A and B are shown apart, each in its own frame.
Chain A
Amino acid sequence: MANNKSVFFNPLSKDNPVLVQILGICSVLAVTVKLEPAVVMGLSVIAVLAFSNVIISLIRNTIPTNIRIIVQLVVVAGLVVIVSELLKAYAYDVSKQLSVFIGLIITNCILMGRLEAFAMANRPWPSFLDGVGNGIGYTIILVIVAFFRELLGSGTLFGFQVVPQCFYEAGYANNGLMILPPMALIVVACIIWVHRSFNKDLQDK
């Protein structure tokens, strides 16, 4: 069980897919303008990652080696379309905000990375934990970035006004740059900087 524990907890910090493996950056840039879509995107990735890991792990011994990437893609694409359809049916507003980015989970490198590196070689239960762990690791970063971008860019959190009106009257202005993608990259870089400074073993010599 000690092994399962590390499978689940490592991706949260020491082996975080965004901070350490630098995967899935593109969607971090795109969906972190507001917190709500960021959270939904995170949950969608957790769901797709966990289930595709389990499915691939279950059939890993039957997959012909030469088409294994195609098989992984078919499974991931199928799951992503199902998630996208579910969102359209039950969370229409959010699915409109996320627009193409739910579909682009298919191309999220975290998915192919985990399937290829973990699910193809491990049993379903550890694979499930690995999927959930990596999904949460990704979601944490998404939420942190979205928190700063929404707070500084729009003065709101989850759509509720947080920065009081008297600030604006005193001359405070929302930072328009925060809404644009480049700031997401800079925020991610700052998070990586802080993260590395606490984890000396991750620093390059």
Chain B
Amino acid sequence: MNKQGNAYTLIYIVVLVVLVGAALAFTSISLKDRQQANADADKMRQILASVNITPANAADIISDYNTYITDSYIINEAGEKVDGDLKAFDVNVALQVKEPADKRLMPVYVCTLADGAVKYILPMYGAGLWGPIWGYISVDADGSTVYGAYFAHQGETPGLGAEIEKPAFSSQFIGKQLIKNGEFLPVAVVKAGQKPAGDEDYVDAISGATITSKGVGSMTDVCLTPYANFLKGLAAK
């Protein structure tokens, strides 16, 4: 057969693509469970990081998660629990933040620390400079005081925007108040030395990473404000 002819070329490329496609499909299917388990464990590690718990090694993540995270549920904007088959852990926050606030499914993780204190962990998702940023913030049982925060990013600039994942930045959130005089005000991120327009609590932005810092600010705004009724409900208890 003529190896330079059109028929040979066509058949050759079709066979090649089918073979490579089959190999890829096989790899993907046979590794899927392991990959999902890794992604889940990573999510658990991040949730625990927001309550300042760092599992000693990778094998401890799942057992620590099961020890400390005692409950999780989904709420709506009114602060009521949403019943359904969907687990809070499986809610895709990235998709939910695109929904209008009154249609959002919002996960809440309830963490019970070793001393019996109860913390509520709320997920966040937003945009940085180069790609998505996300995080978890934990709130005391009074619904207002921030207990801890964890931020992560996909590809912010190392040394600048990427600093949001360092404790130096996230620990600033500790002790901030989300509710003041009965009003819900998410923590603002402002340039160091400046103050926000309102009287909300604020943290210092990272110098040189204006867009990422603004992204964090708008992320806490967009993602936490819909939890206002839920948090006020906690405060009233």
Contacts and interface: CB of A to CB of B under 8 A. Distances in A.
Interface of A: 33, 62-67, 70-71, 74-75, 77-78, 81-82, 85-86, 88-90, 92, 96, 99-100, 176, 179-180
Nearest to A81: B24
B94 to A, nearest CB: 16
Interface stretch (B9-17, B177-185, B198-206, B221-229): B9-17
Nearest to A63: B12
Contacts of B16: 71, 74-75
B31 A70 contact: no
A92 B42 contact: yes
A78 B19 CA distance: 10
Contacts of A62: 3, 12
Interface in B1-59: 3-4, 8-9, 12-13, 16-17, 20, 23-24, 27-28, 31, 34-35, 38-39, 41-42
Contact of A82 (B12, B23, B41, B42): B23
Interface stretch (B65-73, B118-126, B151-159, B167-175): B151-159
Interface residues of B, number: 25
Interface of B is mostly: helix
Contact of B9 (A67, A74, A75, A86): A67
Given A78-B20, A82-B27, A179-B158, A66 B42 contact: no
Interface of A is mostly: helix
A1 B13 CA distance: 35
Given A64-B4, A74-B16, A180 B159 contact: yes
B23 A78 contact: yes
A88 B42 CA distance: 12
Contacts of B38: 88-89, 92
Contacts of A88: 31, 35, 38
Contacts of B9: 64, 66-67
A64 B12 contact: yes
A180 B4 CA distance: 49
